């Protein structure tokens, strides 16, 4: 599948062998049909555990299927309006967050014969009201009364005919809209039966609204076929055993977290709901085999491990650092002779021989480090992890190296909401660090010139285009945006910049719209430089700035705990010792980065105390920095930086 030959990627012989015995959903016509198969296959296996609600919720696959059916019956009894267009099913808005009831509601709505429009209950009022109106939803399922009250009074002038609370709170009485709670909906279903609805793969399953950085959010139309394709192809990436545990921490309504849950549940896994507050505790208690997360999650785990290192005696710290250094050379050598070093994909015979010698020489020390140090580090993730699955952004190189050294396997995937979401993923038997893996079955990539849109050969950097059964139907009620995103031949413009290796692994280097253009005409992709700087113990978060300037600058959120351990308490972030330390750190990490150029240097920076978070609007729900929002908020500081 080179740029001249865009034959769809299909399952390799290795993958077909691995998939033997996994549950197949190839014949599905709609996503909810999977629950009957799962209930038959896994019956009394625990499907969902929510340990952080009172009382704790535990459901087997049989119980989960039954509750989805009951929710669907209740929705059918309440009623919804059918559109004239067959492929666009009636819409019901679902504004709620991770819980067993979210999954029941999500699949219950689809089983009833409707599509849902989903968003977090924590989203801004204006955005929720916009989604409600734009989607044309005639029913609304909300987290609780707090969410309901946030939408008043405008809610009652919408098309919504009824509202269901996912909580057991007493439903308020409203003369215009029927409002019931979860238990009342289930009671409503108890005296009725499910009306079977014939759905097909072309019909709308869900509307996921992208967080609009400019203008209104766009409604991504994902069909049943889009989502079923993911169920049937992700078996090539991970092959879970029945009863394997997974932790659910990503927003369930987001495409990455959502499809991750659909897939692992389709294979009989036990899903445990967690959150940032309980993550460390749940890793130890439930000892999961899989965790699906984003780079910031693995970074926080890494930072926790680094903190534990700093609490050791100086002698032990030195021992640990020595082992890590030796093991770093060991894995570099192993990657080299395996042809899995992104900086040297085609090693010479001499390089391979030298790599073998280094591997043999350092193997005893590496395995000693595993016995003394790395086994204990593995316990930070529970000790049973088969693979961590990473998506939603690039994974910094130092995190890649650290987790490989300590024996925690991370598989990185790539995709977007518009692609349901997975386009490509690494395989455990060919885990090329720094890449986003090879396409999943039925998927094609090509790289085109940013200006001319001419197809480029392998190893040439350009705009990443993708095509496959997982590409969205389009943006709801927005044909203009759809035609800009998907061309006449079905190629989707990802907006990402990257290149393809000779064996079709995609390597991403940044977002086309994030590129910083200096006054000398140099194009700088900020992500790789930011990732390099994050190697520093003293940098918690960083965002490069410098559009239309002579050089780069940075906004840095310091790791205050590490800083105090180094310089003592009562730190003045503007003092010379602090600034000198950060100058040394960013210079070292930037210059040590592969492919370093003088234009990559950060000549000015400022330290800010407020972290970038979801709550203050500076991170997306998948923990990516909202660059335009950060730039706007700190415009005065940025201007002074370059003055």
User: Which residue(s) pair with 235 in the sheet?
Assistant: none
Is residue 6 over pLDDT 70?
no
Is residue 380 over pLDDT 50?
yes
Residue 2 pLDDT level (bands cut at 50, 70, 90): very low
pTM (2 d.p.): 0.88
Separation CA 59–CA 478 (nearest Å): 40
Task: Report how far apart, in Å, the C-alpha atoms of 373 and of each of 363, 365, 405 are.
Answer: 15, 11, 11
Angle at 201 between CA 197 and CA 202, to 5 degrees: 105
Query: Domains plus CATH for the chain?
Result: 515-642 (3.30.300.30)
Nearest to residue 25, comparing CAs of 11, 44, 9, 38?
A: 38
Is residue 103 over pLDDT 80?
yes
Separation CA 48–CA 59 (nearest Å): 5
Question: Can you give the pLDDT at residue 213?
Answer: 45
Cα separation of the two ends of the chain:
49
Is residue 4 over pLDDT 50?
no
Is residue 10 over pLDDT 80?
no
Mean pLDDT of 462-478: 97
Q: Which long-range contacts (CB under 8 A, 24 or more apart) does 331-340 make?
A: 331/366, 331/401, 331/404, 331/405, 333/358, 333/359, 333/362, 334/359, 335/433, 340/430, 340/431, 340/432, 340/433
For CA atoms 27, 32, 36, 37, the dihedral sign is positive
pLDDT digits (tens, 9 = 90+) for 540-552: 999 999 998 999 9
Structure tokens at 600: 């990559």
Is residue 309 over pLDDT 50?
yes
Residue with the two structure tokens 């203009």: 480
Question: Can you give the pLDDT at residue 107?
Answer: 98
């Amino acid at each position: 599948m080179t740029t001249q030959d865009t034959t769809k990627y299909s399952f390799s012989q290795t993958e077909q062998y691995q998939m033997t015995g996994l549950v197949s959903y190839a014949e599905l016509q709609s996503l909810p049909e999977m629950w009957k198969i799962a209930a038959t296959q896994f019956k009394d296996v625990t499907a969902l555990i929510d340990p952080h609600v009172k009382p704790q919720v535990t459901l087997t696959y049989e119980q989960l299927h039954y509750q989805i059916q009951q929710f669907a019956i209740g929705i059918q009894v309440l009623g919804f309006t059918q559109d004239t267009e067959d492929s666009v099913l009636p819409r019901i808005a679902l504004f709620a967050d991770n819980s067993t009831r979210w999954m029941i509601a999500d699949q219950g709505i689809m089983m009833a014969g409707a599509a849902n429009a989903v968003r977090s209950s924590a989203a801004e009022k204006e955005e929720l009201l916009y989604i409600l109106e734009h989607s044309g939803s005639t029913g609304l399922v909300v987290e609780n009364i707090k969410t309901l009250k946030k939408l008043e009074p405008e809610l009652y002038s919408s098309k919504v005919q009824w509202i269901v609370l996912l909580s057991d709170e007493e439903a308020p009485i409203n003369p215009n809209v029927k409002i019931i709670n979860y238990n009342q909906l289930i009671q409503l279903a108890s005296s009725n039966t499910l009306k079977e609805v014939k759905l097909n793969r072309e019909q709308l399953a869900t509307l996921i609204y992208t967080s609009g950085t400019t203008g209104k959010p766009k409604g991504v139309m994902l069909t049943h076929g889009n989502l079923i394709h993911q169920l049937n192809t992700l078996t090539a990436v991970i092959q879970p055993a029945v009863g394997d545990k997974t932790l659910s921490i990503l927003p369930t309504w987001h495409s990455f977290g959502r499809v991750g849950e659909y897939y692992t549940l389709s294979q009989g896994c036990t899903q445990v709901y967690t959150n940032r507050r309980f993550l460390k505790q749940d890793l130890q208690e439930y000892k999961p085999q899989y965790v699906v997360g984003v780079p910031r999650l693995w970074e926080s785990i890494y930072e926790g491990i680094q903190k534990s290192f700093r609490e050791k005696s100086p002698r032990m710290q030195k021992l640990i650092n020595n082992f890590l250094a030796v093991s770093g050379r060991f894995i570099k050598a192993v990657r080299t002779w395996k042809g899995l070093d992104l900086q040297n994909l085609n090693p010479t015979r001499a390089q391979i021989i030298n790599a073998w010698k280094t591997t043999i020489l350092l193997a005893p020390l590496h395995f000693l480090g595993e016995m003394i140090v790395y086994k204990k580090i593995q316990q930070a993730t529970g000790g049973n992890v088969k693979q961590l699955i990473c998506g939603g952004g690039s994974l910094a190189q130092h995190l890649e190296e650290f987790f490989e050294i300590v024996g925690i396997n991370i598989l990185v995937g790539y995709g977007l909401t518009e692609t349901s979401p997975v386009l490509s993923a690494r395989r455990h038997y060919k885990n090329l660090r720094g890449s986003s893996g090879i396409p999943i079955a039925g998927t094609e990539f090509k790289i085109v010139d940013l200006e001319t849109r001419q197809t480029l050969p392998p190893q040439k950097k350009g705009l990443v285009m993708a095509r496959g059964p997982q590409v969205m139907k389009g943006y709801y009620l927005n044909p203009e945006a759809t035609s800009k995103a998907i061309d006449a031949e079905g190629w989707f413009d990802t907006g990402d910049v990257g290149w393809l290796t000779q064996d079709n692994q995609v390597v991403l280097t940044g977002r086309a719209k994030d590129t910083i253009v200096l006054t000398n005409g140099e194009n700088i992709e900020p992500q790789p430089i930011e990732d390099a700087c994050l190697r520093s113990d003293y940098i918690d978060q960083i965002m490069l700035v410098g559009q239309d300037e002579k050089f780069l600058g940075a906004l840095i959120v310091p790791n205050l705990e590490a800083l105090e351990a180094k310089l003592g308490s009562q730190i003045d972030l503007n003092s010379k010792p602090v600034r000198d330390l950060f100058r040394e750190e960013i210079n070292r990490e930037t210059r040590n980065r592969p492919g370093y150029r003088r234009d990559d240097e950060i000549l000015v920076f400022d330290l800010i105390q407020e972290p970038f978070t979801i709550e203050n609007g500076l991170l997306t729900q998948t923990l990516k920095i909202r660059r335009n929002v950060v730039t706007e908020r700190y415009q005065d500081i940025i201007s002074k930086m370059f003055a």
